[in-house]
Amino acid sequence: MFRTVGRCASEEDVIVKLLNMKCLPVLFCDLESCLLSKSQIKSPDFVISSAFRKIFSTKCQDIIL
């Protein structure tokens, strides 16, 4: 983790990197082998954008995308 973000990374950078390294692989694990509806496919996107909205303390969707 330290090697990836470096010494002068902000707290937000570290949190985003942790989400990408640890949480997202677990969230998307084996999803491609399941037959999902459109609403089920959008569900992980909602979780991710909600987490980023909380990290960056914003309600603006444009910042998250």
Q: State how many domains the chain has.
A: 1
Q: Say what the pLDDT of residue 14 is.
A: 76
Bigger pLDDT: 58 vs 1: 58
pTM (two decimals): 0.52
Q: Say what the pLDDT of residue 2 is.
A: 54
Q: Say what the pLDDT of residue 27 is.
A: 72
Residue 58 carries which DSSP code?
-
SS3 34: coil
Cβ proximity of 3 and 21 under 8 Å: no
Give me the domain span that covers residue 8. 2-28+35-64
Burial of 54 (0-12, 13-18, 19+ CB in 10 A): exposed
CA distance 30 to 3: 28
Kindly state the average pLDDT of the residues 22-51: 78
Kindly state the average pLDDT of the residues 45-60: 81
Q: Say what the pLDDT of residue 8 is.
A: 67
